[in-house]
Every structure is written in C-alpha cells, then in structure tokens.
C-alpha cells in the first residue's frame, strides 16, 4: 500500500488518469445494467428474429443498406428516427426491435429515441453489421 501511495505521489497525472478511467468504466457498467435498452449478441438477435418476430431497423445510409443488410430489415436513418418519421415501423411497437448500425457504436441514440417513442423492447446488435457479416451470417444485397 505504501508503494502505491509513493507511486501516486511521484506520478500524479498518471494516477489521476487511471482514477478517471476507472470511474468511467464503473459508470458505464452500472448505466448498462440499468438501461432499458440491451445489447444483444448475434445468436440472441437470431433467436429474437426467428422466435419472437423481432423487427430489425438498419440505421445506416441507403447505399450501405443496399450493399448488404439483414433479411427483412427496415432502413430508417437516424435523422428520421429523431424527427419521429417512423413510417411502417409504427405498427411494430409491441414487437422486439433490434437497431443495427455499421459496427454497433452509433445505434444507441436511435435505440433510445425509439424507446422514448413507445417501443417497449428495444435492443442493439453488438458489433452491428460488421460483426454479423464477420460470422458469415446471411446478408441481402440490393433493394
């Protein structure tokens, strides 16, 4: 313990950076545990799609969507979701909704907005389409 205190005294900036990172990890973990929106693996997403008739919402650009998307996915831009222009998605409020982006990092905002719009079961696909195609799961091209 004395070594730790000596190190912290000699390397103040490094020690503060470590404490800040530790706090951020703890906050992120706790926030994720209590969030209504859960991140699902590809296996869990497949189960939701096949057994619970989950709707997949792809928030990537139209061109990226055409290059490859999950079967029956609805392409809605994040801007449309933010404006509340949900189109055909409105009729699926009672079903699970899986929000998909390119790599799993930008789907969170759209998922939160869908949850605020009254969608009860909203999920984010872990690692997005990159993870999906990385496991050689099927993608539909075109449309």
- 3-class SS string, 40-107: ECHHHHHHHHHHCCCEEEECCCHHHHHHCECCCCEECCHHHHHHCCCHHHHHHCCCCEEEECCCCCCH
Instruction: Give the separation between CA 86 and CA 84, rounded to whole angstroms.
Output: 6
Residue 127 near residue 58, CB atoms below 8 Å: no
Catalytic residue, candidates 89, 101, 122, 124: 101
Instruction: Give the separation between CA 66 and CA 47, rounded to whole angstroms.
Output: 24
Whether 101 sits among the annotated catalytic residues: the reply is yes
How are beta strands 74-75 and 38-40 bridged, if at all? unpaired
Strand pairing partners for 24?
Answer: none
**Catalytic residue numbers?**
101
């Amino acid at each position: 313990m004395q070594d730790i205190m000596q190190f912290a005294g000699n390397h103040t900036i490094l020690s503060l950076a470590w404490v800040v990172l530790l706090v951020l990890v703890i906050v992120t973990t706790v926030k994720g545990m209590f969030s209504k929106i859960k991140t699902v693996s590809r296996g869990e997403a497949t189960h939701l799609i096949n057994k619970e008739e989950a709707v997949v919402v792809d928030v990537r650009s139209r061109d990226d969507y055409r290059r490859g998307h999950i079967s029956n996915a609805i392409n809605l831009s994040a801007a449309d979701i933010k404006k509340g222009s949900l189109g055909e998605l409105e009729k699926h409020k009672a079903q699970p909704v899986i929000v998909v982006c390119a790599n799993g990092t930008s789907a969170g905002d759209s998922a939160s907005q869908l949850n605020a719009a009254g969608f009860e079961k909203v999920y984010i696909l872990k690692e997005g389409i990159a993870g999906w195609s990385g496991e050689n799961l099927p993608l539909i091209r075109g449309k």
